[in-house]
Amino acid sequence: MATTTATLTLNSADLTGDALSLSTTATLTQAGNTTGLDQTTGVARRTYATAQTATSLLAAADYTDDLAHKVYIKNISTNAAEFVTIEFDGPTDVLNMGRLYAGDWAFFPWDGTTDIDIDTSAANMTVEFAVIYQA
């Protein structure tokens, strides 16, 4: 059984009136049990020669619906003005999750029922991504 843990640490000396130090860890498990997630796409990168609109990054058809998939997406750009918008392309509506500016990343659960699309704000942008998933 695979064991994968994710850790997020936030530190700041001046965000609030007091120093901020937060750390949390989760073991990534399959839906409804304690068995670890055992599949991955590996980490990949896609570079887009032109600015993109509603371009598929992850197709729901490639994953089993309603399971415990985890997604990592990062904007590799170093230009502070360039961003990637993450979108969930549902059957009747598109939901914007938010923007990743230069160097920003996201790690989130995904049920595999909708496609994950992206928009890029400029040409020649690179997006890094991976899925840790349940088959």
Residue-wise pLDDT for 26-52, tens only, equals 999 999 999 999 999 999 999 999 999
Tens of pLDDT along 89-110?
A: 876 778 899 999 999 999 999 9
- Domain harbouring 126, CATH code: 2.60.120.510
Q: Among residues 130, 73, 124, which one has the least CA distance to residue 103?
A: 73
Q: Is residue 125 part of a domain?
A: yes
Q: Which of 7-21, 70-84, 102-116 has the lowest mean pLDDT?
A: 7-21
Q: Is residue 13 part of a domain?
A: no
Q: Which residue pairs, CB below 8 angstroms and at least 24 apart, start in 83-86?
A: 83/120, 83/121, 84/118, 84/119, 84/120, 84/121, 84/125, 84/127, 85/118, 85/119, 85/120, 85/121, 86/116, 86/117, 86/118
What is the predicted pLDDT for the residue at 92?
72
What is the predicted pLDDT for the residue at 1?
67
Q: Is residue 44 part of a domain?
A: yes
Q: Hey, which residues does 123 pair with through a beta bridge?
A: none
Q: Is residue 12 part of a domain?
A: no
Q: Is residue 16 part of a domain?
A: no
What predicted TM-score, i.e. pTM, was given to this entire model?
0.93
Structural domains in the chain (count): 1
Segments forming the whole domain that contains residue 126:
40-133
Q: Is residue 76 part of a domain?
A: yes
Q: Is residue 54 part of a domain?
A: yes
Q: Is residue 31 part of a domain?
A: no
